[in-house]
């Protein structure tokens, strides 16, 4: 274990011990961008201890969350890559014996032209963009047992079945790219999961996680922008009971919304509505030592991308006490800086909670 990882772990332990005698819970989200161009390549890079893989592992170990919502991780049927990565994390001092990763929509092939380019079989014709099944998938890693029989997986929900869905239309006002496409198109670019986890201090905690579509890379029909809006809107509908009884206590939404409430291209009203939902708290995490509006940014997309934005969120229910939060983005020259920028364009976001 590297010295700064050990120091971070000791700081974490001290923070966890100081909330009126209760055991704090650290929940984090991280789009680690551990995705490759073909199936099996991520496992190869994990086994080779690729620089990016190891940097991501050290970032996670340095922040040491109890529960981690992980995005941008290639899915495979038997979970071999995830198990191998968990092994690396354990070596770095972050042990996650409990894991969940079901098949996402990314790369899930269809026999339809879903992106309207007049062809079938491309990455954009999968249920979620992907060159192969599971590319850039999701996972949940936990120190504590996952109540598998209570998991709710909304990955197969059709977009048209979302109440109030703003489906894409062509220039004539008809369905885009076709009525047949919208008959099979799922809402989730990747997945929407509700994962119950049994913790020693707070009892059962429901982790709600997702990875929404970028609201760009489309045409005037705004297919991706509308989908991004509705993937975010799903959570407010879920909390309001649109899909059956929702947990009313001890839940956390954690994931990559791909939308900034102030600066993003896209329909920013979606994330603004979620952040202001009365059932949620926005801890507004900041980078250590940073000030100003940019201190809350969680990603840095280099030119010609949009630059720094806040797109990654950890939003606890209001019955938690937020005792700390942060974004792992050390300054140049500080321990962990090189790992943070090597691992991913995104930064790990964490929140400490007391029951």
Say how far apart CA 44 and CA 59 lie, in whole Å: 20
Q: What pLDDT digit, counting tens, does each position of 257-307 carry?
A: 999 999 989 999 999 999 999 999 999 999 987 888 899 999 999 988 899
**Regarding predicted confidence, which is higher, 2 or 154?**
154
% of the chain exceeding 70 in pLDDT: 94
Q: Which phi and psi (to 5°) does residue 15 adopt?
A: -60, -40
| Average pLDDT of the residues of the chain | 94
**Regarding predicted confidence, which is higher, 128 or 5?**
128
Contact between residue 351 and residue 296 where contact means Cβ atoms under 8 Å apart: no
Say how far apart CA 89 and CA 319 lie, in whole Å: 31
What's the mean pLDDT in 72-89? 98
Q: What pLDDT digit, counting tens, does each position of 15-52 carry?
A: 344 333 458 999 999 999 999 999 999 999 999 999 99
pLDDT of residue 1: 53
Residue whose tokens read 């490759």: 36
Say how far apart CA 70 and CA 100 lie, in whole Å: 10
How buried is 174 (Cβ within 10 angstroms: 0-12 exposed, 13-18 middle, 19+ buried)?
A: exposed
Q: Is 76 helix (H, G, I), strand (E, B) or coil?
A: coil
124-163 core/surface letters (b: 16 or more CB in 10 A; e: else): bbbbbbbbbbbbbbbbbbbbbebeeeebbebbebebeebe
Instruction: Write out the two tokens for 8.
Output: 């971070």
Instruction: Write out the two tokens for 310.
Output: 């806040």
pLDDT of residue 2: 53
Residue 93: which residues within 8 A CB-CB, separation 6 or more?
1, 5, 6, 9, 61, 64
The pLDDT-based confidence of 179 (bands split at 50, 70, 90) is very high
- Given a cut of 80, whether residue 8 has pLDDT beyond it is no
DSSP 294-317: GGG--EEE-TTS-EEE--EEEEEB
Q: How many CA atoms lie within 13 A of 342 on its CB side?
A: 16
pTM: 0.93
Residue whose tokens read 């049994």: 198
DSSP 248-283: -SSEEEEEE----TTT-SS-THHHHHHHT-TTB---
Q: What pLDDT digit, counting tens, does each position of 215-231 carry?
A: 999 999 999 999 999 99
Say how far apart CA 271 and CA 263 lie, in whole Å: 11
Output the CA torsion 6→8→11→15 (10° steps). -130
Q: What pLDDT digit, counting tens, does each position of 94-133 carry?
A: 999 999 999 999 999 999 999 999 999 999 999 999 999 9
């Amino acid at each position: 274990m590297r010295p700064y990882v050990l120091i971070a772990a000791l700081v974490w332990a001290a923070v966890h011990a100081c909330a009126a005698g209760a055991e704090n819970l650290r929940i984090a989200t991280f789009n680690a961008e551990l995705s490759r161009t073909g199936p099996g390549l991520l496992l190869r890079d994990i086994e080779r201890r690729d620089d990016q893989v190891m940097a991501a592992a050290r970032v996670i170990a340095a922040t040491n969350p109890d529960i981690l919502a992980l995005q941008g991780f290639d899915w495979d049927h038997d979970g071999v890559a995830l198990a191998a990565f968990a092994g690396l994390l354990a070596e770095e001092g972050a042990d996650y014996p409990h894991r969940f990763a079901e098949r996402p929509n990314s790369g899930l092939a269809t026999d339809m032209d879903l992106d309207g380019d007049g062809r079938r079989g491309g990455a954009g014709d999968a249920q979620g963009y992907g060159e192969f099944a599971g590319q850039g998938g999701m996972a949940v890693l936990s120190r504590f047992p996952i109540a598998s029989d209570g998991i709710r997986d909304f990955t197969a929900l059709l977009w048209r079945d979302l109440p109030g869905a703003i489906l894409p239309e062509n220039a004539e006002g008809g369905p885009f790219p076709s009525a047949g496409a919208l008959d099979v198109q799922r809402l989730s670019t990747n997945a929407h999961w509700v994962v119950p986890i049994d913790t020693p201090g707070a009892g059962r905690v429901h982790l709600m996680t997702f990875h929404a579509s970028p609201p760009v890379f489309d045409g005037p029909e705004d297919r991706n922008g509308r989908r991004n809006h509705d993937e975010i809107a799903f959570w407010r509908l879920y909390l309001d009971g649109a899909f059956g009884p929702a947990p009313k206590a001890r839940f956390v939404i954690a994931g990559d919304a791909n939308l900034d409430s102030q600066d993003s291209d896209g329909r920013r009203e979606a994330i603004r509505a979620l952040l202001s939902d009365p059932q949620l708290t926005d801890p507004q995490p900041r980078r250590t030592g940073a000030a100003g509006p940019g201190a809350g940014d969680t990603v840095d997309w280099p030119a010609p991308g949009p630059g720094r934005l806040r797109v990654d969120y950890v939003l606890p229910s209001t019955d938690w006490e937020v005792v700390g939060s942060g974004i792992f983005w050390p300054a140049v020259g500080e321990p962990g800086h090189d790992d943070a920028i090597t691992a991913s364009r995104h930064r790990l976001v964490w929140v400490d909670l007391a029951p």
